Structure 1
Amino acid sequence: MVVTDTQPVLVVADRYGAPLADFYYLAEGAMLYVHWHGNLTAEEVVRAVSEGSKLLGAYSYSRVLNDKRDTSGDWSDALPWLEYEWLPQAVTRGVRAIAYLLSPDLESQIVSQEFMDAISRQLHTALFLQEEPARQWLLLQQ
């Protein structure tokens, strides 16, 4: 993880108190790194993204490194909300690119691909299996 010596600026827990998503602001590259955990549901994804979206007002970033390598689950019911509610707000507030680190879980990979296909018309997007290439790609995005 690129943020081993950095504290998260926001930690969102699931309904049982277990880690769901850790948000890190990386000033170098104006980047938000989101590290997801556990078996994701649509409800939890919407809640965590809603909480994380509040960081757009507090930090200036145009790139998102979305790390779902430690997750599983079908969160596809969140796709309409992400595309029609979150995406327009994120673009308006300056988000320009998302690099996506895929989960090893096939079900989650399928949903992730659907998500990236839906948002690729408005943002620069790319899927990755490893962090370093994802981070380097993001740094090249304007």
Structure 2
Amino acid sequence: MLATDYTHLLTLPDAHGAPLAEYLHYPADELLHVRWHGQLTSTEVIRVVQHGGQWRQQLTYTRLLNDKRDAGGDWSEALPWLQYEWLPQALAVGIKALAYVLSPRHENGLATQQFVQAVRPHLAIELFDDLDEAVAWLRRQ
């Protein structure tokens, strides 16, 4: 279970003003929680991830909780950017573990598996259906 001591950093809207991603920081766990919403596209995924990078210099976090319980869509075209742009930056700032909470619909499973395969040699990453299990795993990293 996530701690109750956190800071809600931002809710980033999509092009229509609906919530796309929320950023929550849990300082005691050195954790950045990104909670996704709606139908995601590659462009939106890249924008959210780039936007999230603004806190790397201001906040301490070594763990990422990528929470897609409320999201779906095809973001597979973002995979090369995530692998060759985001991953080196994440490693450079000290990210050590990433818990990926899947959508109950398990949409875009192939892209998710490809992302995990690209990241796993560089940092700890696991897939979860349950948020509490993901948080417990992150705390052990």
Give the TM bin, normalised by the shorter chain.
over 0.9
Contact 1:73 1:105 in 2 (8 A): no
Quote the offset at 1:7 in angstroms.
Answer: 4.7
CA deviation vs aligned residue, 1:51-81 (integer Å, no higher than 9, x gap): 0011111101000011001011110000000
Paired residue secondary structure (2:133) = helix
Which amino acid counterpart does residue 27 of structure 2 have in structure 1? Answer: A
In the alignment, residue 105 of structure 2 is paired with which amino acid? Answer: D
Question: 1:102–1:109: 8 Å Cα contact kept in structure 2?
Answer: no
Percentage identity across paired residues of the two chains: 45
- Partner of 2:69 in structure 1? 69
Structure 2-normalised TM-score?
Answer: 0.93
What corresponds to 2:90 in structure 1? 90
Counterparts in 2 of 1:42-121, with a 5 A limit?
42-121=42-121
**For this pair of structures, how many residues does the alignment match?**
141
SS at the partner of 1:106? coil
Distance 2:67 2:30 in 1: 17
1:57 partner SS: coil
Counterpart-to-counterpart distance in 2, 1:7 and 1:63: 15
Counterparts of 1:4 and 1:109, CA distance in 2: 31
Give RMSD over aligned pairs. 1.6
Q: TM-score, normalised by structure 1?
A: 0.93
Greater per-residue strand proportion? 2
Gaps of 5+ in 2: none
Whether the 8 Å contact between 2:6 and 2:27 is mirrored in structure 1 is no
Distance of aligned partners of 1:46 and 1:2 in 2 relative to their CA distance in 1, 3 Å threshold: same
Question: Which has the higher mean CA deviation after the structures are superposed, 69-78 or 103-112?
Answer: 103-112
Look up the equivalent residue of 1:100 and give its one-letter code. Answer: Y
Aligned equivalents of 2:39, 2:68: Cα separation in 1 = 10
Q: How many angstroms does 1:114 deviate by?
A: 1.6
